[in-house]
Structure 1
């Protein structure tokens, strides 16, 4: 009768008044942006442009290449052997140290190292380290490699695997790949991104007069667009950058400069950078103390950290490479040999080795032959 409950009234939309009605909500996803994980990007960001990653790889590769390597057979170590001569001069362009450093470096950066043997047969005449980023494994029907493709300059050369492979493939353990190894650089990629981002932030801070931005407070009349643009250009030209640090600022027209101090988040950037550096060092197995990273006191002194570095990182790496190269070279020469690190000649482990010699030498219940065997020496008649 009076129109209550009519369709027109029921269809009327509701209208609400809100103080935030004109506010648009803007939410960020909060997802970090990581760099690519391909070999080229990892080498460029983690080794070529990151000082921590560069030093870790160089430190391990140089230390491992300096470890003396011995050739041993069933009767003990050889004083003279073709493999010793080949390792001393692998090829006309490289000596022993440069060759081994390249081998260890490729293994650390990519998780894979490829060594080519050159010669008509038997013991190789030359040994060459091939770039891992150019090499790809060619699997057969049964999954085992039947060849290796080396791509360079738009051309591809295939090394075919027969009874004796012309290429030795050394690799780290990879839990989800049958043919390629997992490099420490891949594991440290996240920390490398954080460290590089913190370095970029520090550089931007230096470009802005090495201090956080301040605020120019206008206590007078409102500035025109032309005046605002002129003031912005003047500030950028005369008061930003390292060369303008400390230059006094001249303001007119009721303008006042209010500097802003470092916020807690600004202060955390340096700590974040140091934490990322420790993570990179941990991925490679380098004690942070050896890299000069502050805030790490795991080891009592530098000498102890250096011994732990050789025991836990350098010697296992040398043992892996020696085992792989020794078995591969033995197939070429048709002789049962093995390569092993000569720990007696490693200066960093000399104190431990001296203690071992002293303990075994003072053991009266051992014969001379048993003592020599425990020390890794050949029998007295073969010395």
Structure 2
């Protein structure tokens, strides 16, 4: 690793070399998962069991592109996650001010020519679901990367996660020492050309590292939420294959035909004619005619006897919940029946996904993307602007109702004589100890003992004339 440190020190100055005497590369989670999970073997098809290889391409091909339920769940999550925008917010004494934008946010508003914030967020979420980590940096038309990319064509570029190595440095001899930290990211693309390109070394301040699901076995990288449910994915794909074979074999799970007094040639001829006339979905439900003492026994009549709906439905729900989605929101079988379709239940499912999954993901994404930007001040942070998120429109109605209740509380407290500033602060923070009273109690808020105005004197009566 010394050569890597030399490259970093040469490119960024001697401070990196003096700050780190030891450096290690944190292995990608594929390697540690392969050691911990022996059932994750190379992709192969053995009988009805399809195993998923423990690497990025296998997760894409065998899980994301090879499983309809995994694709549907990630697509539903991606559609919600990509709806937000971002803005700056300045915090004073822990309280955020108004949201605002500036020219620096143009990099996120248009990450690359023809792209939008939604497209950037879609790739971030899909990659994080499959690899556990999303990496990106900035580049310009001159080929400069990171903070050096300040020329025309500045844009956000995606770094494939399985080609990124996290470099950890520490002043001690222990990788797990408390002072260990990320000192660089090394990106080494696997080129198809004869000459392999040199790795690109970037500092932590130049890389957007989005890892919403932490890996407990490592300190600086995330893990794919698909890893714990690989068995569920394989079982769901096996169920789909089972159904396909059911239909491709005459809509019967199995048929036993017993025959007497027939030689091998006659048996082969009979089997060929039988399969040609009765095998396949197009030949389902045709009348079967036999001769020569043949006897037919049907082992299973239809799919209902296997209760595929319940079996697959339970597996689909576990896959959805591992990805932070509710079956009702994805539109799964178990979510499209019974009381789940009631307005109240659907609203509860929507709030669960919004509060438990989407809001934390938006906050993590904002903090990750801020690495590529320059905030207006040290007290300013990049935050998600949720005002235009269609998925949260019902939450906006709830917020309006809450504000109505708060406004009535403010009016009541003001009428009771509390100071206006303390009333607003107490209601918005929920800390009623902040209320301060003015000492005035009446509706007119007149100081106690104040004399009432004198009654105006009646005008003098007019003198009568003789």
* Short-chain TM bin: 0.7 to 0.9
**Correspondent of 1:71 among 88, 101, 104:** 88
Tell me what 2:396 maps to.
Answer: 350
Mapping for residues 7-22 of structure 1, pairs under 5 Å: none
Conservation of the 8 A alpha-carbon contact between 1:82 and 1:123: no
The aligned length equals 341
In the alignment, is residue 237 of structure 1 matched against residue 276 of structure 2?
Answer: yes
In the alignment, is residue 35 of structure 1 matched against residue 52 of structure 2?
Answer: yes
In the alignment, is residue 49 of structure 1 matched against residue 49 of structure 2?
Answer: no
Separation (CA, whole Å) in 2 of partners of 1:156 and 1:269: 51
Tell me what 1:21 maps to.
Answer: none
Alpha-carbon distance change, 306 to 157 in structure 1, aligned in 2, over 3 angstroms:
farther
How much does 1:318 deviate? 0.7
Residue range with higher mean Cα deviation, 78-87 or 118-127: 118-127
Alpha-carbon distance change, 64 to 369 in structure 1, aligned in 2, over 3 angstroms:
farther
Residue range with higher mean Cα deviation, 152-161 or 300-309: 152-161
Q: Secondary structure at the match of 2:209?
A: strand
Q: Secondary structure at the match of 1:214?
A: strand
**Correspondent of 2:158 among 103, 123, 129:** 129
Tell me what 1:301 maps to.
Answer: 345
Alpha-carbon distance change, 40 to 274 in structure 1, aligned in 2, over 3 angstroms:
same
Report the aligned-residue RMSD. Answer: 3.1
Separation (CA, whole Å) in 2 of partners of 1:267 and 1:224: 36
Conservation of the 8 A alpha-carbon contact between 2:139 and 2:149: no
Separation (CA, whole Å) in 2 of partners of 1:370 and 1:284: 42
How much does 1:361 deviate? 2.4
Mapping for residues 1-383 of structure 1, pairs under 5 Å: 34-74=51-91, 76-118=97-139, 121=147, 125-140=154-169, 144-154=182-192, 155-162=196-203, 165-171=205-211, 172-218=213-259, 221-262=260-301, 267-296=306-335, 300-330=344-374, 336-347=379-390, 348=392, 349-364=395-410, 365=413, 367=420, 371=424
Runs (5+) with no aligned partner, structure 1: 1-31, 377-383
TM-score (norm 2): 0.65
Conservation of the 8 A alpha-carbon contact between 2:239 and 2:312: yes
Cα-to-partner distance string for 1:207-233 (whole Å, 9 max, x where unaligned): 111222222233xx4211111111111
TM-score (norm 1): 0.78
Cα-to-partner distance string for 1:149-194 (whole Å, 9 max, x where unaligned): 23132444533234x6322212121100234311111122121111
Q: Secondary structure at the match of 1:148?
A: strand
Cα-to-partner distance string for 1:36-79 (whole Å, 9 max, x where unaligned): 33222222222112111111111112211102322223463453
Separation (CA, whole Å) in 2 of partners of 1:279 and 1:326: 33
Separation (CA, whole Å) in 2 of partners of 1:372 and 1:158: 54
Alpha-carbon distance change, 370 to 134 in structure 1, aligned in 2, over 3 angstroms:
farther
Conservation of the 8 A alpha-carbon contact between 1:137 and 1:147: yes
Cα-to-partner distance string for 1:60-100 (whole Å, 9 max, x where unaligned): 12211102322223463453312322211111142221111
Separation (CA, whole Å) in 1 of partners of 2:128 and 2:426: 33
Separation (CA, whole Å) in 2 of partners of 1:58 and 1:373: 42
Structure with max Cα Rg: 2
Q: Secondary structure at the match of 1:302?
A: helix
